[in-house]
Amino acid sequence: MSALWWPLPIGTLLFLAVMRWLTPRIPACDGTEPLTVAELPPVMVQLLLGKGRLPVAAIEDALEELASEGSVRFLELPGGIRAVAPAEGPAPRPSRRYGELVLRRIERRRGAMDAVPVEALGPGNGEFDAWWEEYTAAVGAVAACSGLLRRREPAPDALSVGAVVLGFSSWLAYGALGMSSFAERTAAALGATTVAVAAAFAVLPEVRLTRAGREAAARWRKAGGSPRPAALPADRDTAWSALGGRWRKVEIEPAGRRDRKKREYPVAVSFDGEVLRRWTVTRDTDHSTVRTYYAAFDDGDSPQAWTFRLAKQQYDSLSAGDRPHVEGDPQRRALTAPLRRSPDPGGISG
């Protein structure tokens, strides 16, 4: 039995080689103008220094780039809060799609306010995760088009066909090597296929620097460059809100940490508010996995948001920034009336 181990690594290597050949590269340029190494903007430098991974601090680099193009302006809000706003009057549009995404986020986050705090553009504010995924993809597209980044995606159809072929070939190979038991041959073939497919998923999806990208990153490091420290804190316990006419940080107490404070909460509240954040909590039981849906609402005045459990349908229908009328029991985290759109957000009763 011990002499029959060798088809596993050989089959895995052959499988990976075939899958690599069948897996297409993502088209480098799709309406994107390439950059030369000499004109790399700070966002692209951060991508190279991060070896293909973009730090959150790159948002600030994008803001600086937009400011230099005249698309946005920086200003200071009361309390020394650094903020950003679209440029006044006719202004040039961003030259890159990732700049358009940043400008769109600024406009969405500021709402009716004159400006938005730079921190309010970062993690934990306004459906950040979905926007960040789109933003990093846009930056990566420019890097790939410029020959600095190589991207691949696994081909599901090719993986499926390759797995079937490998499984059947392994089954025949183990039989030819003297493994007569049908069950043993099947188990060995399934094991070989599982290892090969797992290795393919680990190796094939590539987002890595090309030789030109590595050389450019080395040049920047030699010149003293380093990944920019994050100035946009990923604070999951607070979020920025402008409800009530002024920007302020609101505390969000995560689910599961409030029993000790239950007496501090009223049994009923009613207010026109704003959704600050949504999240889910997953709990495994003996027979199933239970997922609970939550949202934190700002009332425009309190230092702490009100957190309530939601039905899945309610959760799916909400987004950060929505302004519904809320009625609920904070002690039980339960809504006592359906959420409805608020005509005039602000103020609280109860």
DSSP 56: T
Give the model's pLDDT for residue 146. 85
Give the model's pLDDT for residue 127. 80
DSSP states of 169-206: HHHHHHHHTT---HHHHHHHHHHHHHHHHHHHHHHSS-
> By 3-state DSSP, what share of the chain in percent is helix, strand and coil, each rounded to 5?
40, 20, 40
Give the model's pLDDT for residue 12. 58
pLDDT tens track, the chain, 350 positions:
444 555 555 555 566 566 555 555 555 565 567 777 777 888 888 888 888 888 888 888 899 999 999 999 999 998 899 999 999 888 788 888 899 999 999 998 988 889 999 999 988 887 888 899 899 988 888 888 888 887 665 555 555 656 666 666 666 666 666 666 766 666 666 666 666 666 666 555 567 788 888 888 888 888 765 555 555 555 668 899 999 888 999 998 766 555 445 557 888 999 999 999 998 888 887 788 889 999 999 999 999 999 999 999 999 999 888 999 999 999 889 999 999 886 654 443 33
- Helix ranges restricted to H, the chain: 7-22, 42-49, 58-69, 97-110, 128-145, 156-176, 182-203, 211-222, 312-317
User: Which residue type, as a one-letter code, is found at position 252?
Assistant: I
Task: Return the residue matching tokens 């400006």.
Answer: 115
Q: Which of 156, 145, 157, 51 is nearest to 98 (CA)?
A: 145
Task: Please state, in angstroms and rounded to a whole number, the distance separating the CA atoms of residues 154 and 200.
Answer: 8
Strand partners for 132: none
Plot region of 301 (φ>0 → left; ψ -120 to 50 → alpha; else → beta): alpha
Task: Please state, in angstroms and rounded to a whole number, the distance separating the CA atoms of residues 137 and 85.
Answer: 24
DSSP states of 98-112: HHHHHHHHHHHHHTT
Inter-CA distances, 106 with 6, 128, 243, Å = 57, 12, 16
DSSP 15: H
Predicted TM-score of the model (pTM): 0.72
Give the model's pLDDT for residue 293. 93
Q: What is the 3-state secondary structure (H, E, C) of 62-85?
A: HHHHHHHHCCEEEEEECCCEEEEE
Pairing of strands 248-251, 149-151: unpaired
Task: Please state, in angstroms and rounded to a whole number, the distance separating the CA atoms of residues 323 and 326.
Answer: 9
135 three-state secondary structure: helix
With contact defined as beta carbons under 8 Å apart, do 240 and 247 qualify? yes
Task: Please state, in angstroms and rounded to a whole number, the distance separating the CA atoms of residues 140 and 48.
Answer: 10
Q: Which of 330, 298, 312 is nearest to 126 (CA)?
A: 298
Angle, nearest 10°, between helix axes 97-110 and 58-69? 100
- The 10 Å Cβ neighbour count of residue 196 is 24
The token pair that represents 306 in the structure block: 């009100």
DSSP 235: -
Give the model's pLDDT for residue 178. 65
Give the model's pLDDT for residue 198. 63
Task: Please state, in angstroms and rounded to a whole number, the distance separating the CA atoms of residues 92 and 103.
Answer: 12
CATH pick for 238-349 out of 3.40.50.620, 2.120.10.30, 2.40.50.660, 1.10.40.30 = 2.40.50.660
Task: Please state, in angstroms and rounded to a whole number, the distance separating the CA atoms of residues 265 and 10.
Answer: 64
